[in-house]
Structure 1
Amino acid sequence: MLETERLLLRRPDAGDIDSIMAVAGDREVARRLARVPHPYGEKDAHFFLDTVVPNEWVWAITWRASGELVGMVGLTPEAGQDAAELGYYVDRRHWGIGIATEAAKSVLDYGIHALGLRRLTSGYFLDNPSSGRVLSKLGFVAVGRSERSCLATGSTAPSIEMRLDASPAKSAGRAHAG
């Protein structure tokens, strides 16, 4: 479990199925993500919990005050023990108030200090510049462009690839593990 000023990041579980389906099932959320299909149903949520969560570092983003699930953030291991890809999504009702940045800072700090990650990657579709701003705030730099598949649209779209070369001395933020 990770904590920030406003958020509690915890492992998602079966009690989150309805919330996961509501947030990931929003077409406006799904079309901004590479690996989330649309429509997104109960079978997809179970696959996520049973297959993705055990094999990646994934946290449910919840409000500390209410416990309401407002998104997901995670690190997908990449080739080599010291590399991972950062991914996140936030409920559209909570866009624009810094949730993705706050949650990702905490996860990056954990990845760098607890997991020993040294190279982090991420990317965003060209039509989602808000995600690019989040990644820039976190210290990521653009390293190229590519065509990335989007399960929700069933097509490929232009994507900006980003990278963060990290060291323990260059922490993305301070997380409190609990």
Structure 2
Amino acid sequence: MSAMTRPFDRPVLHAPPLILRRPEPRDSDAIVRICGDAEIARRLARVPHPYGATDAAFFLDHVVPHEWVWAITLDGDDTLIGVVGLTPGDDPASAELGYWLAREHWGRGIMPRSAGAVVGYGFDTLGLSTITSGYFEANPASGRVLAKLGFVETGRQMGDCLATGAPVSTVRLVLQPAGFA
């Protein structure tokens, strides 16, 4: 089987001072705490609010085994502070980048480093030809992360936010290997 058909196989990635590893059941409390933060949940499409232990179990049991998902940790501290991953697309040569980070770690350059390591893995190891992503227009910080990586806007549309139950204006972006910063 190719890497494309086995997303559950993922190495530990190093993006000093960060280590990215597979999310594990021991991360459940941290996942609930971070995703349970309404300010985080309202910035994400697939995270409900309120968010509880059942939601974390679903993530660990049904999302992690079928997507390339990494827990973000600080070197020397194995505590999950966020998640970054690639969701396989309909086209086997594409995936969508998604991520979230505990609020106390915002603005420290953690997400560009983490997402950059995962995008590099997607292009270099998985052989992806396209990585898409998106962010809610009301979350320009996420747009800055994607711009730092070289993503280019392809359009705007309305998208769903599970936490609010309302459609939100979403910016869609794309990245090919040649544009990866």
Task: With the length of structure 1 as denominator, give the TM-score of the two structures.
Answer: 0.93
Unaligned runs of 5+ in 1: 173-178
Equivalent residue for 2:117?
Answer: 106
Residue correspondence of structure 1 range 7-156 to structure 2 within 5 A: 7-156=18-167
SS in 1 for 2:122: helix
User: For the residues of structure 1 that align with 2:39 and 2:129, how far apart are their CA atoms?
Assistant: 32
Name the amino acid aligned to 1:16: D
Runs of 4+ in 1 over 2 A off after TM superposition: none
1:53 counterpart letter in structure 2? V
Aligned-pair CA distance for 1:68: 2.1
Separation of aligned partners in 1, 2:167 and 2:109: 28
Give the fraction of aligned pairs with identical amino acids, expressed as a percent: 54
Farther off after superposition, 62-71 or 28-37 = 62-71
Give the TM-score normalised by the residue count of structure 2: 0.92
Q: 1:171 offset after TM fit, Å?
A: 5.1
8 Å Cα contact 1:124-1:132 kept in structure 2: yes
SS of residue paired to 1:67: strand
Distance 1:133 1:17 in 2: 29
Bigger shift: 35-44 or 63-72? 63-72
Secondary structure of 2:77 counterpart = coil
1:40 maps to a residue whose letter is Y
SS of aligned partner of 1:68: strand
1: CA distance between counterparts of 2:180 and 2:130? 12
For 2:151, the aligned partner's letter is F
Q: CA deviation at 1:69?
A: 1.2
Q: State the partner residue of 1:176.
A: none
- Is the 8 Å Cα contact of residues 150 and 175 (structure 2) preserved in structure 1? yes
1:17: Cα distance to partner?
0.4
Residue-pair matches, total: 170
2:170 is aligned with 1:159 = yes
State the Cα RMSD in Å.
1.0
**C-alpha distance in structure 2 between counterparts of 1:126 and 1:80, whole Å:** 26
| Corresponding letter in the other structure for 1:64 | D
Letter of the 1:107 counterpart: V
Instruction: Please tell me whether the aligned partners of residues 112 and 171 of structure 1 are also in contact (alpha carbons under 8 angstroms).
Output: no
SS for the counterpart of 2:16 is: coil
Contact 1:30–1:36 at 8 Å: present in 2 too? yes
1:2 CA displacement: 0.4
